[in-house]
Structure 1
Amino acid sequence: MKFYLKALPLAISVALVPAAAFADEATDAKVAQLEQQVQALQAQQTKNLTDKFNFNGFISGAYISSDNDAGYNNATSSADFTQDSKMGLQATFNISNQTQAVLQLMMKGENDWDVEAEWAYLSHRFDGGVKVRGGKLRVPLFMYSDYLDVGYAQPFARPPGEVYDQVPFSSYTGGDVSYDFDLEDSTLTLQGFGGESTVPGADLDLSNIMGGNVSWTDMTWTLRAVYGQTSIEGIANGLTIDNEKAVFNGLGGSYDNGSFLAVGEWTTVKIDGLLADTESAYVTFGYRIKSFTPYVTIAYVETTDNDVRSNLPPQLSIPLSIGLNQERTAYSAGLRWDAIDNVAIKFDLTYATDFGDTSGGLGGNAVINPLTKQFTFDDTLVYTVKFDAVF
């Protein structure tokens, strides 16, 4: 009996050892299962976040030079690799199926590659089809406004400055609203916009920006009309500008059947007071031959209110006429080569002439004799080699 009493604790201990070991194994298995569940949840969250986030970008690198220092597109007789060279990164986060947040960061060689937010906005499309955006947006005045810096989306080496340089700002802070009418074989889009902006590198503030545009496309033909206005305040060309009204009107159209391409725009800018009113236009024709697209462009710009400044006293009319009057016609011939997927190489030769008795609107064309309105250059030839890529 004593033997059994002494052996009982040992037997109980021996019996409990497998049970304890089994309990430890069960706990470890449960922990491992929980870890797998956590990892699965983390993977699902990462996948959901990845599905909501889109990232892309574009880059351009260019060599430009000119036969003189007139300054067309800021080109000089020396080689320049910064003008027209740029890089952009764009991120889109799909908050929901109808709501997006978009951020586009730009770095330009001409601005020492400083990083600047070109786009930063929130958009929402309502069930009825109306789309509203708010934040920092591209001002929608031109055919290529949305792709102004995306060289790959353009047939030419650069948008014609005769038209696109007449508006000295490209983005504004504010909002827009648009609606697409789906017709039988085409789409009609109405857009209204408003906000404020500043002119980069100048002491000018733009307030009460407002306007609208209408466009129609059947994916071969595109037609577009736009109106915009703003109030200008600040200093320009030595003039104090006090809430002067500026009005922009534009018409554009394009035809692209996959082989033949034609695109053109006509614009006017009218500003109260002594700042220059302008009229400008261009037309581009191109033809795709496999991976090559040769093109030609004719463009012009001229001030339409020279008499406003010429009627001033000489001490005012001469400097203002020299600084503000412009007249220029440009002829471009180029070739786009889609060398590989998402990469295009472009060669362009642009000849600008017909300056009249103006500098042609070129910053490097200095006046020789203010009384006779003689300038250093009466024409200029610009060479461009450029690559554009998207990723």
Structure 2
Amino acid sequence: MLFRRPLLIVLSSIIFLPVAQASIELTDNIALSGFGSTAISKTDNRTPLFISREITDETCYDCDTILGLQLDVELFDSLSASGQVVKRTQDEWSDPELEWLYLSYEFDNFEVRAGRLRLPLFLASEYYYVSQAYPWARPPQEVYDSILGFTFYDGLSVSWDYEISDELLLTVSPYYGFERVNKVELGEYLLIFDTEYMAGFYIDLVGFNYRVHSGFMQTKYRQQPSVEQQKLDIYTLGAEYSYESWLWMAEVEFDRLQTNWYASAIYAFDYLSPYLTYGESHQLRKSKGVTAGVRYDVTSSISLNLEYQMIFSQEEGNRAQFVTSPLVYDESSDVDLVTLSVNFVF
């Protein structure tokens, strides 16, 4: 895969979880790459689980299916273009999403981007759909579902890189997203947000075996059919650290509506990496969750995940990580989930 900052991506993948940097060189300055994942998943609850995936007690073979293609073009020495089309979990095969399409201009330690860009709120935001790039079958939903699955904006960003030392890189990047209408399906409901703007920044501190990522975003919007405008400030903080065969990751997201966090530990035995994750959601969603899993790296570009996840609601009838209240289905507020996934890049 081709990414803007190879150093950052390699470090954020934490050394012993290999991410293939494969691509098809169409010409000297045009490269095509791709990624995908699919899974067999099943719960013990009829209530659909997870936004945009809606996994139930019926065995699902496409709830986690993702396929993406990325084209990178070097136009001139400092000017490049990148486009990424993704069939996301919520998309039909005939209607994929244009996840990003932008022009990039680099000078000195700065980079300016304009177009459709990825929201940089979380540790895995830039490679969110590339399951091969993180240890789990899917990123912890407590944090990564906290903004209803929105992943991109149309606007501008500027990033500044500063090498504090030979092994320490600082990145500061403000961004601004223009007006657009964002839609998300939540069970039987279609939520429509008329967004006036999204504005924020992120700060990355990347060392030899660790990364700290902090983000802030403010958005002004109104949820149709209401005419009342609202503002929402979102704060995020995440860190990952590796030591020998260990990798630890943790993130927190909070705003006036909710607080969500997780912590995860991964240990690598050659090509086998067992992991344990604990997460919580509070206020808007109220749940606690434990995930035990193992990842097997078949090759540098193909991996398998087997996961068992238990989610406990902290309040009877609360939506928790479901798309609606389990009371609608006359079901328990707790749920167990089993997932077997395959991930690949090319």
TM-score of the pair, normalised by structure 2: 0.85
- What's the secondary structure of 1:382's corresponding residue? strand
The letter of the residue matching 1:266 is V
2:39 matched to which residue of 1?
62
Structure richer in strand, relative to its length: 2
The Cα shift of 1:258 comes to 5.2
Rounded Cα–Cα distance in structure 1 between residues aligned with 2:194 and 2:75: 33
Residue of structure 1 in register with 2:315 after alignment: 356
Instruction: Tell me if structure 2 keeps the 8 A contact 1:365–1:377.
Output: no
Q: Which amino acid aligns with 1:173?
A: D
Asked if 1:336 is matched to 2:325, the reply is no
Which stretch of the first structure deviates more once superposed, 84-93 or 375-384? 375-384
1:214 offset after TM fit, Å? 0.8
1:93-134 residue CA offsets vs partner (Å, 9 max, x unmatched): 0011211110101113531222221110000101x2110000
Question: Which residue number corresponds to residue 178 of structure 1?
Answer: 159
Residue 390 (str. 1) matches residue 329 (str. 2):
no
Distance in 2 separating the partners of 1:360 and 1:246: 21
The alpha carbon displacement at 1:226 in A equals: 1.0
Please state how far the C-alpha of 1:135 moved relative to its aligned partner: 0.2
SS at match of 2:322: coil
CA distance in 2, matches of 1:258, 1:95: 41
Bigger shift: residues 250-259 or 58-67: 250-259
CA–CA distance in structure 2, aligned partners of residues 375 and 227 of structure 1: 39
Q: 1:83: Cα distance to partner? A: 1.3
User: Gaps (5+ residues) in structure 2?
Assistant: 1-24, 185-190
- Per-residue CA deviations over 1:222-269 (Å, capped at 9, x if unaligned) read 11211110101132xxx7252200110011100023511000101102
How far apart in 1 are the matches of 2:233 and 2:227?
A: 15
Separation in 2 of the partners of 1:119 and 1:258? 35
Q: CA RMSD in A?
A: 1.8
Q: How many residues align?
A: 308
Query: What secondary structure does 1:111 align onto?
Result: coil
Query: Which protein is richer in helix relative to its size?
Result: 1
Question: Aligned pair 1:256/2:237, yes or no?
Answer: no
Identical counterparts, % of pairs: 26
Structure 1 residues 241 and 66, CA, compared in 2 at 3 Å: closer, same or farther?
farther
Residue of structure 2 in register with 1:198 after alignment: 181
Aligned match of 1:145: 125
Structure 1 stretch 253-262 or stretch 135-144: which is displaced more?
Answer: 253-262
CA shift digits 1:268-313 (9 cap, x unpaired)? 022xxxxxx000000110000000000000011111xxxxxxxxxx
Q: TM-score, normalised by structure 1?
A: 0.75
Residue 380 of structure 1, aligned match among 335, 339, 342: 335
Give me the whole-angstrom Cα distance separating, in 1, the residues matched to 2:319 and 2:110.
46
Mapping of residues 58-97 of structure 1, within 5 Å? 58-73=35-50, 74-97=54-77
Q: Could you give the per-residue CA deviations for residues 71-95 of structure 1, whole angstroms, max 9, x where no partner exists?
A: 2222111111111111000000001
Comparing both chains, which one has the higher relative contact order based on Cα–Cα distances under 8 Å and sequence gaps of 6 or more? 2
Displacement after TM superposition at 1:364 (Å): 4.8
Amino acid at match of 2:295: R
For the structure 1 residues 327 and 241, does the alpha-carbon distance in structure 2 shift closer, same or farther, using more than 3 Å as the test? farther
1:194-215 Cα distance to aligned partner (Å, 9 max, x none): 1134333332122221111111
For residue 82 of structure 2, what is the aligned residue in structure 1? 102
Q: Is 2:217 the partner of 1:228?
A: yes
Task: Tell whether 2:267 aligns with 1:287.
Answer: yes
State whether residues 139 and 170 of structure 1, in contact with CA within 8 Å, keep that contact through their aligned partners in structure 2: yes
Q: 2:279, 2:296 → 1: CA distance?
A: 23
Contact 1:359 1:367 in 2 (8 A): no
Letter in 1 for 2:297: D
Any runs of at least 4 consecutive aligned residues in structure 1 with deviations exceeding 4 A, and if so which?
A: none
Determine which of 97, 105, 114 is the counterpart of 1:124: 105
Residue in 2 that maps onto 1:33: none
Seen in structure 2, the aligned counterparts of structure 1 residues 221 and 341 have a Cα distance that, compared at 3 Å, is: closer
Distance of 1:87 and 1:378 partners within structure 2? 32
Please identify the structure whose Cα radius of gyration is greater: 1
Per-residue deviation, 1:354: 3.2
